[in-house]
Structure 1
Amino acid sequence: MASKPSAYLQAIARDNSLPIEQTALDLWLKDLQNPLRWGIRPLLQFVFAILLHLIWFFKRLPLPQFSAHQSLQRLICWFCRHFVSKEANLLILRHYATESNVLNFLAANSPVEDYQPVQLYPKSIDDMRDASFVEHDQQLFRLFAELGAWHHPAKPLPVEQLSWQHWQPVQMADFEFAEKWTQWLDFESAHALFMCLFCLLLTREQYRDAINGFNLDQSIALRIGDLVGNPKLAEMAYNKHPHYLVGPWNLSQRFLMHGFFTEQLYAYLEGVRLSTTTDTA
């Protein structure tokens, strides 16, 4: 029989102060109760954080750079299919969709018309061999470059004028997932295992850009806050100050908080979209 969640977990299960879809919250709360998160994860993060910094130093040496992007992604997909828990895999798939929606909303409501929307909406783990984590980062950087400098609008757009043309609501039934009994690893433990491989199998510039891309969360929130008239959205961003480049220190927490940010901003915007649809029905 499963143990009853602690008093704190019961509290945050009912806390809706920050927007988040119930499905995502349920997945995360179940992942938090994975015994491996509290047993093996601290050891993995300690050991691999040391190894990560050694690899980081090695990659910064004036040596020829190498990248094995496709091999890295195939290995990740194989590992996710066999060893990462259902909850963690679904959270990963949701992250692609939530961030793609947030970026496409920003682009569709920006004054720039010459841009390409983000098309990364994988429905299965195998889809991530093409919709890779590196491609996920590169699409973010590409879109920001295409949108160019941000000109803060004098006033927000009226709700009825907001564009949702590229928006794809996240439907859990759309995800294809074959559960295996070997899938036992929680989200954070899985990330601890892979963060060193990312550093090793990407060029130093690719990896540096990837771990600093989280800091664009603040810029995204500020821009969307301007569009919808809610400056408090920037408070959702844990990762900030994109002009200050950082290394791999505290990477696990920054990675996780980036995931929370996209879930929360997606949930907020989805609420705006649904209220607009209801009002105009």
Structure 2
Amino acid sequence: MSTDFRDQPHDERDPSPWLALYLDRSTPLPDAVKAAWLRDSSSASRQYLLPFARPLARLSIVLIQLVKVLLPRKWAHSRLLHRLLAWSMRNFISPEANWFILRHFHLGSQVLSFVARNAPTPVATSPLEPLAIDDVKDELFLKHDLNLFNFVIRLNTALRAAGAELGPVAEPDFSMIVEPPLRLEDLPSGRLNVLDLQTAIELYTPVYQLLLTDHDFWRASNSLQLDETVAIYVARILAAPEHLVLLNNKHPLVPESTLRAGHRLVLHGLSTEMLHCLLSRMASGEVPLPSRALAQPAQNRAHTATPLTES
């Protein structure tokens, strides 16, 4: 199958589902991102390895949970975990999967900065912007989970203290919404770099559980349900609630089982890509801003989101 979906012939007696998904524009994704996502999703690893990896990974989660009953509650090796993740990414993960993993930290940071910059009160942010796989070693995955909860707490503490609410902004600040400086062609592409994103995440999940405390793993799993929360924040600023329709990690007040954390993480990554694309299109004027019809220019949004440095 051609890796350039535009070059694929269309046989009406045997239409390609990948070509249909690539050409479809009902969901917001840039063509380059969608092509990379579909190449990864249609890979041999995804087709033949994932059906075996997923049930084994979920069984491992159950067994590790039993083993950890016997371990000290604070037993964890976060630095070892992140060194293993970086090593496996460099040696076994496909270029597309690595691209999406590194992009996700940038996009998530930008979305939170968008909410902070357009909130009626100043809110500090903690952006994560890895430029290489080795940056993962700095406990990047754990910091990403912490950032989400810390941001929700900071934002809502500030809003409650000011007696304010998020609402439509006539001229939102999109200055932080940019393409990450990450090139797909710069990522490892050796003979063993074939593992697709979904399979890699399923295999990573029990390792994540083993090398973190139960509390850290549970929090990481349930951070995925903040997709709904952050999307509501953005929807209020843009006055565009219809863009919540593609969310799947809900409801935030009903915790999910950790057994499906791998699949939910893939949904989390894709929804972040789509939200970032939507914001990019609004920033460029490609998509009109519904908030302009509902809001007056904000008088108290001259602040900027204050970056924090976490070590």
Shared fold by TM > 0.5?
Answer: yes
The alignment's C-alpha RMSD in Å is: 2.5
Shift in CA distance, 131/17, structure 1 to aligned 2, threshold 3 Å: farther
Counterpart of 1:101 in structure 2: which amino acid? Q
Deviation string, structure 1 residues 143-168 (Cα, Å, up to 9, x no partner): 11110166545x5110x3x1235444
TM-score (norm 2): 0.81
Higher mean Cα deviation, 30-39 or 71-80? 30-39
CA–CA distance in 2 between the matches of 1:60 and 1:29?
40
Shift in CA distance, 117/169, structure 1 to aligned 2, threshold 3 Å: farther
Cα offset, 1:33, TM superposition: 2.0
Note if 1:122 corresponds to 2:130.
Answer: yes
CA–CA distance in 1 between the matches of 2:121 and 2:210?
37
Higher mean Cα deviation, 163-172 or 222-231? 163-172
Cα offset, 1:174, TM superposition: 8.9
Deviation string, structure 1 residues 249-276 (Cα, Å, up to 9, x no partner): 3222211110111001000001111129
Which one of the candidate residues 242, 251, 257 is aligned to 2:252?
A: 242
Contact 1:188/1:252 (8 A) holds in 2: yes
Matches within 5 A, 1:147-186: 147-148=155-156, 152-153=165-166, 156-158=168-170, 160=171, 162-173=172-183, 176-186=186-196
Note if 1:69 corresponds to 2:66.
Answer: no
Higher mean Cα deviation, 117-126 or 162-171? 162-171
CA–CA distance in 2 between the matches of 1:60 and 1:139?
28
CA–CA distance in 2 between the matches of 1:103 and 1:95?
12
CA–CA distance in 2 between the matches of 1:123 and 1:98?
13
Which one of the candidate residues 260, 277, 280 is aligned to 1:267?
A: 277
Match of 1:94 in 2: 103
Note if 1:222 corresponds to 2:253.
Answer: no
- The answer for unaligned runs of 5 or more in structure 2 is 10-14, 290-311
Match of 1:141 in 2: 149
Match of 2:198 in 1: 188
Which of 1 and 2 has greater Rg?
2
Structure with greater proportional helix content? 1
Name the SS of the counterpart of 1:148 in structure 2: helix
Higher mean Cα deviation, 260-269 or 14-23? 14-23
Shift in CA distance, 28/11, structure 1 to aligned 2, threshold 3 Å: same
Match of 1:42 in 2: 51
Matched positions, count: 275
Shift in CA distance, 79/138, structure 1 to aligned 2, threshold 3 Å: same
Match of 1:198 in 2: 208
Contact 1:100/1:120 (8 A) holds in 2: yes
Identity of aligned residues (%): 27
Match of 1:12 in 2: 21
Cα offset, 1:134, TM superposition: 0.6
Counterpart of 2:138 in structure 1: which amino acid? D
CA–CA distance in 2 between the matches of 1:45 and 1:10?
26
Match of 2:64 in 1: 55
Shift in CA distance, 16/172, structure 1 to aligned 2, threshold 3 Å: farther
Deviation string, structure 1 residues 16-55 (Cα, Å, up to 9, x no partner): 1111122211111111221121111111111121111221
